[in-house]
Structure 1
Amino acid sequence: MVHTCVVTGCRNRRTPGTGLSFYRFPRDPDRKQRWIEAVNREGWIPNDGSRLCSTHFISDFSPPVFPHAEMKEPGALEILDKQEDRVEAANALLFLQGQGSAAVGERLQEEHPEEKEQEAIVEESASSSLSTDDEDDDESVSDSKKGKFDAAVNFEDILKALKKENQALRESVEKMSLSENFLRNDAEKVKFYTGLPNYFVLETVMWLLAPHMDGMKNVRLSKFQQLLLTLMRLRLDLRNQDLAYRFGVKVGIVTRTVHQMVNIMSSTLVPTAVFWPSRAELRKNLPAALRTSHPDCAVIIDCFTVPFEEPVSRGNQQQHQQQQRAAATSQGAGTSHNVLKYLIGVAPQGVVTFVSRGVLGNVSDKTLAEGCGFLCKLLPGDIVLASRNLDIADSVAARGALFKIACSYQGETCGSSEGSQLADSSSEMVSVPRHVERVISMVKRRYAMLTGPVESPFTTASERTSNLSTFDKIVQVACALNNLCISAAPLE
């Protein structure tokens, strides 16, 4: 028998492939009367063959919808449908949070088994409320089952479960995000990402820098994240695009943050951690290796170089024109135009006490030492040690100090330029030549950005009032951070 929808104007009929369902009128008198009124055909009474197609139903449990149908008060099935919609919405929320509706169902079943049983009864009853020609059972819902539809789902317990799940998700995300909780109580993470020995030292650095970061306008990153981003740039030599992905910001924000933080650390952290100690402090903590041979040793110096990717800017070259002219007459071995050269001074105790600004690699050691302000730190009677001849003996002597070249191994003949003295070849001097090299190597291992090659934006002067480039400040900051670490390299 081919069934046709009885709704006025509807031409749907039961044919293969349409995908439509056709429903009998319910046997319950009240519901049947509501359907008849919704059909809105004057004087019409349905018979056993009367059918309604599925296009007139919002859902299987909702009352039929027809043209000119009057709004009726919601019945138990409608209330049940709304309740189920809310539960589905809650399930969808958890699914978006990564749990899935199955996890919610299991959780609710474990915490509220009586509700799960009640929902099963509701679903069983609702599935029998409407029948089609494809089903053998065409009985309408009974009065005994109909009463169970009025049992409301306990939304308060569901809400509690959702809040608990949400809190767990928040804690999980917080642990994975690059924030304080990501590093707190995990010294290995602190060392890996920042180079600092533990979270306490990192927190101290943050406390020192925070008051100077108020002017930095960055709504996407907290102050701690700005510091962490900069330390990761120095420590791991990560490119700006990589950091942008890690912190979820644009590359421009990373670039601006690194430059601003380097400027703040250069003006705040460097004077605190890299300073020339008094003579009394030097003698008080002088290592045993020098206490007998050179009790007046003030510093051990050397030069190191860092390659850069592109030639420095014209402005930076002009700053070094004088040094380049002086270097044109010198024949320093191992110098190059595509490297930056720095003079570093290390106290016998193993901390960096002086770092010069960078000059082009073809500038002589003498020109660098005489022009960077190092000589101004010396006092009459100080001894300056080095593992090789830097040709500054006369300049050091002009300050009333003494320049000595230490032997690289016991029994080696040590040479010196005019005005310098030969260093002793005793066992106490064996480790002196490698002392600065060890400190330089430690700083470069701790902050890989110092191994180069340096990107060109870092080689230009960062401020008009300063002849220091951003990378000059980075070198100084790296030395300051190294001084904060417990693993300084004392002279043995």
Structure 2
Amino acid sequence: MVHTCVVAGCRNRRTPGTTLSFYRFPRDPERKQRWIAAVNREGWVPNDGSRLCSTHFISGKQVKNPRSPDYVPSVFTTAPLSPEMKESAASEVPDKQEARVEAANALLFLQGQGTSSAGVQDQEERPEEKEQEAAVEESASSLSTDEENEDSEDEPVRDSKKGKFSQVPVAQINFEDILRVLKKENQLLRESVEKMSLSENSLRNDAEKVKFYTGLPNFFVLETVMWLLAPHMDGMKNARLSKFQQLLLTLMRLRLDLRNQDLAYRFGVKASTVTRTVHRMVNIMSSTLVPTAVFWPSRAELRKNLPAALRASHPDCAVIIDCFTVPFEEPFAQGDQQKSVGQNAQGFGAGYNLLKYLIGVAPQGVVTFVSRGVQGNISDKSLAEGCGFLCKLLPGDVVLASHNLDIADSVAARGAVFQIAGGVQGAANGSSKDLLSTVCASETLGVQKHVETVISMVKRRYSMLTGPVEGSFTTAPERSSNLTTFDKIVQVACALNNLCISAAPLEKFPQKTPTS
């Protein structure tokens, strides 16, 4: 049976060879009603044959997790304007331009009549009229070189190259041809400026440009992020930047790690405006976007989507953890250092100019936890106990790591189990010791590569996380939160990375072969 998408204006059909997916409307009444509302067809009710294609989901497929953005379809193009509206909008600017050009032509004509009767001496006394006449001469001259099939009436215009234009009456100049050339040149200039500008229209149909400047895969994802943040940006009054430009500026700051003065030149504002905009937008994305995209999944959801690589060896794996560091430019004052780590810092040695983070990655490859940043040589145990990670664990959960992070006792206190990948199998019988050692080494390498791939993916997508971090982002934490602005930037980068659906699935480990 051939299915057609029910969204108004969408012509996608299930045909042989198509890569699109078509989904039934959910059986759950509440979710089904939300799908109907998203389709937005007045008085329409779906039947058993109604289908919705995958292009209306951010990731290209529906997700049954209620906290996912793709729990309900959200990608819909706006309805096109009626032909009458398009025609009126398109003709409004040319009409104004034609009126101005006609007025200018009439003035030039009158001035030309005056100069022909006044004589050479009067022309010398009016240098402004001579400049205007020269401008008309230059335009007519350039026009004549472009026209290959001109009539004999245009011969005086060609003679203007030799200085004879002053003898030609202005009335014989074809101003319609000049106007046509100027209009074409104007249109080409407008298109060129539009392509070079950082505007919503210039990004709408250019996925590569969106990816380069924002790190997001396409304009639909960028538009969805804008839709989520726009209601919370009403209090941000900025006469020079629109809401879209404020979001784009912030994403460019995170993505390309451009300095404030560079962004100020690009968007035509002051550097102080860029600083305020970035800090405000990061706060909004931290409170709005992060809870939506970075969250701890339920145990049932984890087990349901557990990769085959871990089903046999670690079926209760809840998270794979690791630590990463980011350098910053200027050292913290000692008082601020001790305050930020909760009096748990163990000195200010080689790690003094580094921010250390604990990150948790689900086996499916998405970031589920990011700690706040701490400075100095703080132990992994102190970081894990003070960042709230242990509170996420449930009895029976398995926490994996590629190396010993010295948190086994802290994890055990929560009823969970901390395991180094390959550590349990390494204690097997001696008859297959060499084979199991190889399997354990491969498993450890796979887990380590898994986490490192996700971390490097986030840093590669948002290069501001590679450092060094400017002091303005690390020395002014909010009073209502123990997170600095850069802590929020790290969390926002992880949230945006999750929205890209670019998860790094855990590679399949070598399977143990039974031994006799």
Q: TM-score, structure 2 length as denominator?
A: 0.65
Q: Indicate yes or no: 2:412 matched with 1:397.
A: yes
| SS in structure 2 at match of 1:217 | coil
Other-structure match for 2:481: 466
**What is the letter of the counterpart of residue 122 of structure 2?**
F
Q: What is the Cα deviation at residue 243 of structure 1?
A: 1.9
For structure 1, the residue ranges without an aligned partner over 5 or more in a row are: 1-30, 36-51, 66-80, 93-100, 130-147, 414-421
Q: Indicate yes or no: 2:98 matched with 1:85.
A: no
2:399 aligns with one of 378, 384, 393: 384
Write the distance in 2 (CA, Å) between the matches of 1:427 and 1:128.
88
Label 1:149 to 1:336 Cα distance change in 2 as closer, same or farther (>3 A).
Answer: closer
Q: Indicate yes or no: 2:219 matched with 1:172.
A: no
1:262 aligns with one of 282, 288, 297: 282
Label 1:303 to 1:104 Cα distance change in 2 as closer, same or farther (>3 A).
Answer: farther
Other-structure match for 1:68: none
Please tell me whether the aligned partners of residues 408 and 434 of structure 1 are also in contact (alpha carbons under 8 angstroms): no
Please tell me whether the aligned partners of residues 215 and 461 of structure 2 are also in contact (alpha carbons under 8 angstroms): yes
Spell out the pairing of 1:265-276 with structure 2 (5 A cutoff).
Answer: 265-276=285-296
Label 1:318 to 1:431 Cα distance change in 2 as closer, same or farther (>3 A).
Answer: closer
More helix by percentage: 2
1:224 aligns with one of 244, 250, 266: 244
Other-structure match for 1:338: 353
Label 1:386 to 1:218 Cα distance change in 2 as closer, same or farther (>3 A).
Answer: same
Please tell me whether the aligned partners of residues 310 and 455 of structure 1 are also in contact (alpha carbons under 8 angstroms): yes
Q: What is the Cα deviation at residue 317 of structure 1?
A: 2.7
Percent identity over the alignment is: 72
Q: Indicate yes or no: 2:387 matched with 1:372.
A: yes
Range with bigger deviation, 162-171 or 447-456: 162-171
| SS in structure 2 at match of 1:344 | strand
Spell out the pairing of 1:35-54 with structure 2 (5 A cutoff).
Answer: none
Other-structure match for 1:247: 267
Q: Indicate yes or no: 2:445 matched with 1:438.
A: no
Write the distance in 2 (CA, Å) between the matches of 1:455 and 1:105.
59
Tell me which structure has the larger Cα radius of gyration: 1
| SS in structure 2 at match of 1:260 | helix
Deviations 1:297-348 (A, max 9, x none): 11011111111110135674352363345x35xx9xx961111111100000
Other-structure match for 1:25: none
Other-structure match for 2:254: 234
**What is the letter of the counterpart of residue 57 of structure 1?**
D
Please tell me whether the aligned partners of residues 350 and 488 of structure 1 are also in contact (alpha carbons under 8 angstroms): yes
Other-structure match for 2:378: 363
**What is the letter of the counterpart of residue 226 of structure 2?**
M
Q: What is the Cα deviation at residue 454 of structure 1?
A: 0.7
Deviations 1:440-489 (A, max 9, x none): 11111111111111110000234221111110011001111111223211
Counting matched residue pairs gives 383
2:329 aligns with one of 299, 309, 323: 309
1:290 aligns with one of 298, 310, 319: 310
Deviations 1:191-214 (A, max 9, x none): 222222222222222222222222
**What is the letter of the counterpart of residue 308 of structure 1?**
F
For structure 2, the residue ranges without an aligned partner over 5 or more in a row are: 1-113, 429-436, 508-516
Write the distance in 1 (CA, Å) between the matches of 2:138 and 2:425.
77
**What is the letter of the counterpart of residue 244 of structure 2?**
F
Label 1:295 to 1:348 Cα distance change in 2 as closer, same or farther (>3 A).
Answer: same
Write the distance in 2 (CA, Å) between the matches of 1:491 and 1:353.
15
Label 1:113 to 1:190 Cα distance change in 2 as closer, same or farther (>3 A).
Answer: farther
Other-structure match for 1:348: 363
**What is the letter of the counterpart of residue 503 of structure 2?**
A
| SS in structure 2 at match of 1:345 | strand
Q: Indicate yes or no: 2:471 matched with 1:456.
A: yes
Label 1:362 to 1:90 Cα distance change in 2 as closer, same or farther (>3 A).
Answer: farther
Q: TM-score, structure 1 length as denominator?
A: 0.68
Q: What is the Cα deviation at residue 434 of structure 1?
A: 2.5
| SS in structure 1 at match of 2:123 | coil
Q: What is the Cα deviation at residue 409 of structure 1?
A: 13
Range with bigger deviation, 236-245 or 171-180: 236-245
**What is the letter of the counterpart of residue 88 of structure 1?**
A
| SS in structure 2 at match of 1:432 | helix
Please tell me whether the aligned partners of residues 366 and 392 of structure 1 are also in contact (alpha carbons under 8 angstroms): yes
| SS in structure 2 at match of 1:403 | strand
Please tell me whether the aligned partners of residues 307 and 363 of structure 2 are also in contact (alpha carbons under 8 angstroms): yes
1:57 aligns with one of 97, 122, 126: 122
